[in-house]
Every structure is written in C-alpha cells, then in structure tokens.
Chains A and B, each alone.
Chain A
Amino acid sequence: MKILGIESASLVASVAIVTDDIVTAEYTVDYKKTHSQTLLPMLDEIVRMTEQDLKTVDAIAVSAGPGSFTGLRIGAATAKGLGLALEKPLIHVPTVDAMAYGLQGCRWLISPIMDARRGQVYTGIYSFEDEFEVIQENEAVAIETLLEQLENFENEVVFLGDGVPVFRERIIDRLGSLAHFAIPACARQRAALVASLGAKYFAEGKTVPADDFMPIYLRDSQAERVRKEKLAKADAVVVTEE
C-alpha cells in the first residue's frame, strides 16, 4: 500500500510517501515561505529523489484541518488536483489526530494545540498507550477551557504544536508537573504521520472522492459570524418585546 501524505494546516509544509511500513520519503519545512510556493516543488523533489511514479499511489491523505484557512485550502486544492489527475481517492485526516498519532506507546494523554488566535487553540485529546483513541474530537476552544478539561482527568499530558510556545506558561501554571512537552521531531505536523494515519483509514475503507473533499474549518468566516451575531441580537430584541 502506498499513501501520499500532504500537510499544510499551519506554518509547516510537509509531503511524504509511506509505502507499507516504510516512510519512503518525507520533506518537511517549517519556514516562512508560502505553501503555494513550497508544497508542489517539495513533492516533485521527493518523487524524483525516490524515482516514484505517482500513478502507483493508492490514495492521497490530506491534513484536513483545523488550521489556517488558506493553508488548508492550498493542501486541499493540491490533493484534489492530484486526485483528479491520477484518478485516486483522498483520505480525510484531521490535523490534530495526525499530530497525536506520532506518539505511539505514550502513557500520558496527548493534546496537540495549534494557536488559533483570539486566545483559542485548535485541539483534541488522545491516548495512544495501546490503541489510538480519540478522547476529545478536534475543536476550537479557549486554552483555559482545555486546561480545565485536562485538570479533570488528573493525568499527565504531553502537549505539542505551535500553541506550545504561546501558552507554555499558562499550561505550567495550571497543570504543573502533569504537563510535558514533546521533543522537536514530534512537536509539529508531519506528512508522514498524515500518511500513516491515512493508511489506517484506507485499510478501513475510509476514503473520499477527490471532488467531495472539504477542509475542516471549525469556524465560520468573519462575515458569517458578524451576520449571525446581528441576527441573534435582533432575535433577542424581539424576545424582550414579547
């Protein structure tokens, strides 16, 4: 089984080819260049370096979000274009799930946190001591809400993701010695993880036609938010008048 992985949900751009139990190639960059400029040249590089024929890929696993809206769409459009060109299905892999999937055998809870701005994180809670288990599905929440949830578990937790440098002190304040932080190689998104979890989904028959693939945004656009707030206010006024 050969799975192409694509990851562009945050500042990290990453592509990988996972063939059965082997990471044939992975190219990961955490640098300021835009994904539009990096992602496809990186894929071309690993394809040539490892003499791949992309037609032999079984499916394309995409880091589906949550994350940067634009980053997610560059990854999604790249995968949809490849899926259309190669007539291959896509695999929809939640970004934070793939991040947690790199910590197999971990006896602590796993909580990837991506900085979602406005004091919030894109996150989830996982355990992977034996089976990979999703305890809390991906969500956009205030960091304090997440820390409260985690306090209730009274368990040690490992944090990873670009939310760590932003919220490290608040995490330590609340969780003290229960909090751990992942080493660099496990601390950010990697396409090899997207492809690895994607391979598991593929084996379970969980694929999506390239045409139907949509990113997970978790949030409305600003215009929709403002409009809903306005409508809600208008409703509230009506209620008081009654």
Chain B
Amino acid sequence: MSTLVLGIESSCDETAAAVVRDGRDILSNVISSQVPIHTIYGGVVPELASRNHIMNINGVIRQSLSDAGVTLDDIDAVAVTFGPGLVGALLVGVAEAKALAYGRGLPLVGVNHMEGHVCANFLDYKELEPPFLCLIVSGGHTHLAMMEDYGSFRILGQTRDDAAGEAFDKVARAIGLGYPGGPKVEAAAKRGDPEAYHFPRGKVTDHPYDFTFSGIKSAVLNFLNHASMSGETVRQEDVAASFQQAVVDVLVERAVAAALSLKQDRLVLAGGVACNGALRAALESACEREGIRLYRPRPILCTDNAAMIASAGYFHFLKGDRADWSLNAVPGLEL
C-alpha cells in the first residue's frame, strides 16, 4: 500500500501544490510563480504575494491532482508549510490546507520550509537516508546541519547576519540588476571575471561552522561607492562574478571542513541558492577532491516547491506527527 501526500507551499512568492508517493516519487509538482508581478517593485511585496496566493491556490491544488491523475479520494494526508516565511503568505496555505484536510477528514502535517528543502533530495536520490550532513542555503537562511533522522536536525552553524541569498539580492540591487537577485547575479557573473576584485571571505571567530555575509556585501557596496566617487567605471559582470566567488568560496570551505572533521562522506545541498551553477560546480569539484559524495537536487526542486513539502510531510506522517486545527503560521520558525 502506498501513501499519497498532497503538499501545499505558500511561504514566499510561489504558490505551489504537489502530490508525492511514499515521500519519494513525484506524481505532480505545480508551481505558480509570481516573479513577473514583483519584478516591477524590485523585490517581493508581501501583500501582493498574499493576494496572489489566495487568487491562485485552489487552481494550483486542482492542477496538482489532475497532473497526478488522482482525486482527493486518493490522498492520504495533507502537508503544509507553516514557517519560516512571510506571515501573510504562509497564512493562506495554512488556512487552505487546514480547511481542505478538515473537510475531507484527512490528517494534517505542518512542515518546516527549510526541512522541506533538505527533503527535496529524497525525491532525486531514492536511496538517500539520514543521518547526513547538509548545507542549506536560501534567501532567508544559511545553515550547516546534521539531519540525524527524518524530521530531526542538529544545527552545526548558521549565518550571524545576512543569509547567502539575501546577500545576492542586496548586491543585485546595488549593481542595478534588480529582482530576483540570485539568477540575475549568476547570469551576469558568467560574463565576468571572478578574480577581477577581491572581496573578503568572512569568518566567525571560534565558530568554525557559522557564516557571515554582511561583510562581503558591505565590501561590494563600499567598493561601488568608492568607484563612483572617483569616477572609475566598473564592469557589473566582474563585480557580480567576484562577489559570487567570495560567497561560493565561503560556503564550500565551511561545508567541506565540516564533512572532514565530522568524518561525513556525504554532503547534501539544499535551498534556493543550491540552484546556483557556480556553487554546484565548486562543491562538486571540492567534494570529488576530498572523496565526499555530493547530493544536490535538480534546480526545479531547489526553488520553492510543494513536492519537497509533501516529502517532508510524509516522513512526519509516518512518525505519527499531526497538526491540529489551530495550526498557525510561524514566520520565524527555526529548523
């Protein structure tokens, strides 16, 4: 007997629903992106994100069922992201999922969005099982953690200030690339020289697994300021490439150091920034050099999606975890 979980995700600017079998097989994965809506504002506008979620959510869920070739009768549980994220955006998915589960008499599971990102790997690597070391990098978070068991994490380190993705967004704005920062910086960096400028690789004293990215970001901003005051022209592509290289160096160095000192021969990459081609390539070669097996989901599973939420929800469902009808959105939910 297989178990089908319907996943629902609305924590930021994607409205998503997916049906996943036994936490591993994607039957459908529908993502309604709002990128064009937010682009003219240079970033995600929370109220507009919420308005679009409520407008699209039923259609997205319906599409996920029909793409999977199933009906609500076939669904065994509903899993929903309840944090972290934008509170108004999260609330749409949470209220919808609760009502849907309630109306159908289905069990409901609340899922941590960051855990969902890690579980995206279970969809692409059927044999992957915890425990393993993971590097989670997104617009709001940068974590090094051990996934000890399904649904259970031990945090080794995290960012003290900006998340890696946040630094991408801020630098993108500063060099005039705009939103969404990650893909735009990456595209510009491809045409630039990563060694044109040197930006600092920040470290946190006595905390070998923590990150700091505000220094890199500030260095870029100062550099741009300086250049504009002295009338010096800088190549946007070179700044993007040099900045990206600094962030990638830090992430790779810290993740590989953690794997070596904890004697982990597997490293799992997760989160929106895991889409970044330079990060993937650098981690691939570093891991190969050190004899570490690297796991990284397909890019479509690195961005926000509901298949990863359904996967995470499935493993909580197996453990008997259930949310009740008072489940609330928790914007600052910790891993």
Task: List residues of A whose CB falls within 8 A of some B CB.
Answer: 34, 36-41, 43-44, 54, 69-70, 73-74, 76-86, 210-211, 214-215, 217, 221-224, 227
Contact = CB atoms under 8 A, between A and B. Distances in A.
A103 B258 CA distance: 69
Contact of B62 (A39, A73, A211, A214): A211
A6 to B, nearest CB: 10
A84 to B, nearest CB: 5
Interface in B78-117: 87-88, 91-104
Nearest to B90: A36
A74 B91 contact: yes
24 contacts: A34-B328, A36-B91, A36-B94, A36-B95, A36-B326, A36-B327, A36-B329, A37-B328, A38-B326, A39-B95, A41-B326, A70-B91, A77-B92, A77-B94, A78-B98, A80-B96, A81-B97, A81-B99, A81-B100, A84-B72, A85-B72, A85-B102, A223-B41, A227-B41
A118 to B, nearest CB: 15
A81 B51 contact: no
Interface in B269-325: 324-325
A79 B98 CA distance: 10
B328 A36 contact: yes
A77 B100 CA distance: 9
B91 A73 contact: yes
B196 interface: no
B39 to A, nearest CB: 12
Contacts of A69: 47, 50-51, 88
Contacts of B96: 77-78, 80-81
A222 B48 CA distance: 9
A80 B327 CA distance: 17
Contacts, number: 112
B59 interface: yes
A204 to B, nearest CB: 24
B88 A78 contact: no
Contact of B48 (A43, A81, A224): A224
B99 A77 contact: yes
A84 B328 contact: no
A54 B101 CA distance: 13
Interface of B: 40-41, 45, 47-48, 50-51, 53-55, 57-59, 61-62, 72, 87-88, 91-104, 324-329
A84 B91 contact: no
A44 B325 contact: yes
B51 A80 contact: no
A108 B329 CA distance: 43
Given A36-B328, A70-B88, A74-B91, A217 B51 contact: yes
A63 to B, nearest CB: 14
What DSSP secondary structure best describes chain A's contact surface?
Answer: helix
Contacts of B328: 34, 36-37
Which of B59, B91, B327 has the most chain A CB atoms closer than 10 A to its own CB?
A: B91
Contacts of A85: 72, 99-104
Contacts of A86: 103
Which of A40, A41, A82 has the most chain B CB atoms closer than 10 A to its own CB?
A: A40
A211 B58 contact: yes
B55 A81 contact: no
A223 B54 contact: no
Given A77-B91, A78-B95, A78-B96, 13 more contacts: A36-B91, A39-B95, A70-B50, A70-B87, A73-B91, A76-B54, A77-B93, A79-B99, A80-B57, A85-B99, A211-B58, A214-B55, A223-B48
Contacts of B41: 223, 227
Contacts of B98: 40, 78, 81
Contact of B103 (A81, A223, A227): A81
A86 to B, nearest CB: 5
Nearest to B93: A77
Nearest to A8: B95
A70 B97 CA distance: 16
B95 A74 contact: yes
A52 to B, nearest CB: 12
Given A36-B94, A69-B88, A82 B99 contact: yes
A80 B326 contact: no
Contacts of A221: 45, 47-48, 51
B229 to A, nearest CB: 27
Given A74-B91, A214-B54, A40 B40 contact: no
A73 B50 CA distance: 8
